[in-house]
Amino acid sequence: MTDSSFLDVALTRLDEAARHLQTDGDVLERLKYPRETTKVRLMIRMDDGSRKSFLAWRCRYDDTRGPTKGGIRYHPDATVEEVETLAFWMTFKCAVMNLPYGGGKGAVQVDPRTLSKAELERLSRAYVQAFARIIGPDRDIPAPDVYTNAIIMGWMADEYASIVGQSVPAVITGKPIALGGSLGRDDATARGGYYLVRHLARELGLGSRMRVAVQGFGNAGQFIASLLAAEGHSIVAVSDSRGAVICEDGLDVDALLRAKAAGQPVTSLAGQGGVRTLAAEDLIAVDCDLLVPAALENMIDEANAHRVHARVVLELANGPVTPEADRILEGKRVVVLPDILANAGGVTVSYFEWVQNRQGYYWTVEEVHERLKATMEREGAKIWSIARERQVSPRTAAYIHALSRLASAIEAHGTQQFFTS
Ligand code: NAD
């Protein structure tokens, strides 16, 4: 898929939702294009004394409902189209969860594994220097994304503080706890998906002993596997970029976590207690109740969707199922819990971090979990009932739900009808 079709695909979801609502033309005109995308070249001094430049972007897609919110990705293949598409998704994700935010995203075109730690720090500080007038606690609030983490967010918050001359922890989320981060942020994405599945289990026809397959055993994949295994569900197959393993009686999740922590692939467990290897691309075909894509975009497409055997797909990754695959899965009566709801636990706890920073009053991990659970259950139930009432997929229902909130905010400024009547 080309990058431009990436954004076009995202916009087809908007068009589909708009067909179900009496959406004013002004609303679609506003949401079809990003409000502002800034491109810069970051120049940093490398350890060998040379200077090197890196392309970087920050997109504020729409800020009608509040300051824009979205992560910063460090990736060699980052493009402006990808940044704008991710910012579009963030706009809808924040609206789905009723967070008082618009959507944004940022990226640096770099392979961070080729930089030393000192170079990575200089690059991260250079990003903030370049975008200091765009970001801000009431304007645009970054967070971690692919290949960025809490320590990078800490450097960025520190750089912002030295530019404005005061500490402003609410400028960025996903910070280390010692620098104003929130308890419960590390597993928030997976935990949000876990609360959602638990809440809708009966409607989804899922029992108390599910067979689960997890594609991608990174941050999101490891936490969802641990949470579900702790509740007695059986994690029958998992994969990472180097391969997959399957065990009919359930994999030992703790052993998998230990292997990953030691830098080994999941396939290193093969041969122990009924564990067999599987080609990574066969993971989606495993016979299971719940399939959790937690790796990359477009992993389930027209070519392989017919192989899915699960009853329910929980999209912890962003955009793992293409629109063609969506249609095939719908035909097979596989229910897809869409990314803008299923993985919104991460941005929800980022919002909690921002609130705590502004209050200067910090919550216990139990309070964070309780509020996350309540938010996921509230919005999940609303989306499920829209899907039922309108006879649409949960994905279309989630877009309808978000669009109606965005439309109310945009229309509150006055529509064509208001100005011409
Ligand atoms: P991560 O880098 O920690 O993990 C990704 C995992 O996917 C790794 O284990 C990698 O080996 C694996 N992988 C890569 N290619 C694969 C392939 N072809 N087959 C199987 N596995 C493969 O990333 P993460 O933070 O867990 O994010 C995963 C997805 O979830 C991304 O789409 C991300 O945008 C989305 N997401 C994450 C968060 C979060 O808070 N971490 C929040 C929202 C959305």
Instruction: Calculate what percentage of the chain has a pLDDT beyond 90.
Output: 89
- Ligand 1: which of 217, 301, 304, 322 to mutate, most ligand atoms within 8 Å of CB? 217
Candidate of 97, 316, 348, 350 to mutate for ligand 1, largest count of ligand atoms within 8 Å of Cβ: 316
Band of pLDDT at residue 24, cut at 50, 70 and 90: confident
d(CA 68, CA 383): 23
Its pTM stands at 0.95
pLDDT in tens, 161-197: 999 999 999 999 999 999 999 999 999 999 999 999 9
Q: Region 116-145: what's the mean pLDDT?
A: 97
pLDDT band at 5 (very low <50, low <70, confident <90, very high): low
- How far, in Å, from the CA of 216 to the mean position of ligand 1? 6
Q: Is 148 in the pocket of ligand 1 (CB under 6 A)?
A: no
Q: Which of 260, 318, 348, 376 to mutate to test the pocket of ligand 1 (most atoms within 8 A of CB)?
A: 318
- 299 Cβ partners below 8 Å, 6+ apart? 215, 284, 293, 317, 320, 321
**Which residue has the CA at smallest separation from atom 8 of ligand 1?**
218
**Confidence band for 106, pLDDT divided at 50, 70 and 90:** very high
pLDDT digits (tens, 9 = 90+) for 61-78: 999 999 999 999 999 999
Q: Is the CB of 321 under 6 A from ligand 1?
A: no
What residue ranges do the domains of the chain occupy?
Answer: 1-33+397-421, 34-179, 188-342
Q: In whole angstroms, give the CA distance from residue 166 to residue 164.
A: 6
When pLDDT is cut at 50, 70 and 90, the band that residue 22 belongs to is: confident
Query: pLDDT grade, residue 158 (50/70/90)?
Result: very high
The predicted-structure confidence for 212-231, as pLDDT tens digits, reads as follows: 999 999 999 999 999 999 99
Average pLDDT over residues 91-107: 98
Q: State both tokens at 326.
A: 């969506």
Contact 157, 172 (CB under 8 A): yes
Q: Is the CB of 189 under 6 A from ligand 1?
A: yes
- CATH classification (class only), 34-179: alpha beta
What is the mean predicted confidence (pLDDT) over 240-263?
96
Distance CA 179, CA 321 (A): 36
As a whole number, mean pLDDT of residues 246-254 equals 97
Q: Which CATH class is domain 188-342?
A: alpha beta
Decide: helix, strand or coil at residue 196: helix
Residue 300 near ligand 1, beta carbon < 6 Å: no
Lowest mean pLDDT among 66-70, 143-147, 208-212, 396-400: 143-147
**Does 105 qualify as catalytic in the annotation?**
yes
Domains 34-179 and 188-342 in one fold: yes
> What pLDDT was estimated at residue 1?
47
Q: d(Cα 408, Cα 280) in Å, to the nearest integer?
A: 44
pLDDT for res 273? 87
The catalytic position among 93, 105, 260, 373 is 105
Q: Whose CA is nearest to atom 29 of ligand 1?
A: 317
| Ligand 1 atom nearest residue 297's Cα | 32
Tell the burial category of 133 from Cβ atoms under 10 Å away from its Cβ (0-12, 13-18, 19+).
Answer: exposed
Atom of ligand 1 nearest to the CA of 296: 32
pLDDT of residue 64: 96
The tens digit of pLDDT for each residue in 342-397 reads 999 999 999 999 999 999 999 999 999 999 999 999 999 999 999 999 999 999 99
Which of 161, 187, 184, 186 is CA-nearest to residue 172? 161
Mean pLDDT in the chain? 95
Q: What is the pLDDT of residue 6?
A: 77
**What are φ and ψ of residue 343, in 5° steps?**
-105, 15
Using a 6 Å cutoff on CB, does residue 217 contact ligand 1? yes
